[in-house]
Amino acid sequence: MSWKRLAEFSVMALLATACGDQTTVAEDLGEQPTVAEDGGVPTFAVDPSWPTIPNGWVLGQVSSVTVDGRDHVWVLHRPRTVEDEQQDNAAPPVLEFDDAGTFIRAWGGPGADYEWPANEHGIHVDYQGHVWIGGNGGQPESDDMLLKFTTEGELLLQIGRRGQSGGNTDTENVRRPAEAFVYQDTNEVFVADGYGNRRVIVLDADTGAFKRMWGAFGNEPLDAPPETGATPTSGDAAPDEGQGPQQFATVHGIEVSNDGLVYVADRNNSRIQVFTSDGAYTTQGFINQNADSASTAAGLAFSPDPQQQFMYVADQGNSRIHVVDRQTLEALDSFGRNGEAPGDFQALHHIASDSNGNLYTAEAQRGRRVQKFVFQGMAPARR
């Protein structure tokens, strides 16, 4: 049933469902936001049986998840993180499932005609069905490239080369890119170039040619100062009290909305910044600021309605998903907690949504799984 149709269900039916199923995400966990839209907020229930992984395969750290135009779900994991005794059963790094969780295909890994990432990080399937993959491996040579494949795993394009980045001014190489998004209206790939650099870089999606780039607030992106015993550079100073640093920390997620706005997840600064597609800064919003962990904005996804009213934010450090008003960047609700049970999270990393409003989450480090959260309709935000 579609997102729009489910949104018409009554709140009473939703609350009855929530009371009867421990896997329904309806438990009040911690302090909750107090603002809600008149129509309520989306609610979800985890599907503990999703997906079906074939062949006795084992997943390592699941770094990313994305959904294509057919509502097929693509999962990127790190086979090299599978325990030594299970390496023979490690799944290929890229897996495709349909929305029911049925396995479709798998591929990926080092090849003769491209440089595969040392540490798989982000996956995106664009409007033409092309699969984009980046990594954040650092040593001995960093993952300074972005790869574009067909759905069958045939290389179409490699942008950049391993260990070749010259930093934030380099227009030929990325540097440990976290995520990418191809905007159909301009056929440009917007890259969260955020582990080695501190920028958004925009490239032609067919040729990889450089178009433009920017840092936080639209500033020129600067290389980070030394981590130990350093005084922040002028580029790291706050422009106004309460606005946060002028430079990005870890540019960890990126999405472009239907109306052409670029949403950037500045993970370790606990914020989302919004730009026009040309890189002009428009606004920002903080996510779960002053929480136990500052890594609150790791991944982004939109609701499937034409206006994309809601944005879902993966709070990696605090094991929550925040439901945010996309226009105001105001948190309306949140759910999740740290744990191993279905519906809980351990190192929630990236997030995706499908055309029916369901959510898919990737857990790296300890979590090592992908989960599906089924859209249940609208309900008042918990207070």
The answer to whether position 230 is within a domain reads no
The answer to whether position 157 is within a domain reads yes
Any alpha helices (H) in 113-175, and if so which ranges? none
The answer to whether position 247 is within a domain reads no
Residues 6+ apart with CB under 8 A from 10: none
pLDDT value of residue 32: 38
Q: DSSP character for 30?
A: S
The whole domain housing 298 covers: 3-224+252-379
Q: Provide the pLDDT confidence category of residue 31 given band limits of 50, 70 and 90.
A: very low
pLDDT at 285 over 70: yes
Q: How far apart, in whole angstroms, are the C-alpha atoms of residue 364 and residue 5?
A: 33
Q: How far apart, in whole angstroms, are the C-alpha atoms of residue 274 and residue 253?
A: 12
Q: Provide the pLDDT confidence category of residue 242 given band limits of 50, 70 and 90.
A: confident
The answer to whether position 198 is within a domain reads yes
The answer to whether position 199 is within a domain reads yes
Beta strand residue intervals within 69-178, DSSP E: 73-78, 94-97, 103-107, 120-125, 131-135, 146-149, 155-159
**Under DSSP, is residue 291 helix (H, G, I), strand (E, B) or coil?**
coil
Q: Provide the pLDDT confidence category of residue 8 given band limits of 50, 70 and 90.
A: very low
The answer to whether position 229 is within a domain reads no
Rounded alpha-carbon distances, angstroms, from residue 313 to 169, 252, 267, 378: 29, 12, 10, 18
pLDDT value of residue 23: 43
pLDDT at 349 over 80: yes
Contact 314, 365 (CB under 8 A): no
Looking at residue 177, which CATH number applies to its domain?
2.120.10.30
The answer to whether position 140 is within a domain reads yes
Q: How far apart, in whole angstroms, are the C-alpha atoms of residue 210 and residue 172?
A: 7
Of the candidate ranges 8-22, 106-120, 203-217, 342-356, the one whose mean pLDDT is the lowest: 8-22
pLDDT value of residue 101: 98
pTM: 0.90
Rounded alpha-carbon distances, angstroms, from residue 58 to 6, 55, 344: 35, 9, 20
pLDDT tens profile 58-101 = 999 999 999 999 999 999 999 999 999 999 999 999 999 999 99
* Number of neighbours of residue 80 by Cβ within 10 angstroms: 15
pLDDT tens profile 153-168 = 999 999 999 999 999 9
pLDDT at 22 over 90: no
Unique residue bearing structure tokens 């509502």: 71
Q: DSSP character for 109?
A: S
The answer to whether position 237 is within a domain reads no
Rounded alpha-carbon distances, angstroms, from residue 74 to 79, 80, 129, 168, 382: 15, 19, 11, 30, 32
Domain count of the chain? 1
Residue 228 sits at φ, ψ, to 5 deg, of -110, 125
- The pLDDT > 90 percentage for the chain reads 83
